[in-house]
Amino acid sequence: MISINYRDGRPIYEQVRDGFRQLIITGVLPMGSKMPSVREVAASLAINPNTIQRAYRELEAEGYIASMPGKGSFVAERGEADSVRRTELLGRFRTLLPELRQVGAEKETLVNLIEEEYDV
């Protein structure tokens, strides 16, 4: 389901968070589905449960999951979460554009990349 890359410079909790976020966005984990327990994920990845708990807290803060005491965590409706994430990603994209321009990336190349992604 999720894999950890120990050569990745990001902390493990971020990799877990991003992995689950991707599963939610792509519909692998549909709205209303129960998330695996913190202990299950920690055991399957052989990492500390506190790391998984931190990833779950961040997913909840972002609006991707909702916790129900005594029942577990569930995939939430994504409307607001997608809007917040889209704003964040567009901001990151805007900060990358000047750097891409400075290293010689041409407008046509960037437009082609965007068109390729949307033609998929």
For CA atoms 20, 21, 26, 31, give the dihedral sign: positive
Share of the chain above pLDDT 90, in %: 75
User: Domain spans of the chain?
Assistant: 12-77, 80-119
Long-range contacts of residues 3-7, Cβ cutoff 8 Å, at least 24 apart: 4/45, 4/47
Question: pLDDT tens for residues 4-33?
Answer: 999 999 999 999 999 999 999 999 999 999
Q: For 94-114, what is the HEC assignment?
A: HHHHHHHHHCCCCHHHHHHHH
CATH of domain 12-77: 1.10.10.10
pLDDT at 89: 87
- Tokens linked to 40: 């299950």
Give the CB-side neighbour count of residue 7, counting CA atoms within 13 A.
0
Residue owning tokens 């992604």: 117
| Cβ-count burial 8-26 (b if 16+ within 10 Å, e if not) | eeeebbebbbbbbbebbee
- The pLDDT value given to residue 11: 96
- pLDDT tens digits along 43-94: 999 999 999 999 999 999 988 999 999 999 999 987 777 788 888 889 989 9
Confidence grade of residue 120 (pLDDT, cut at 50, 70, 90): low
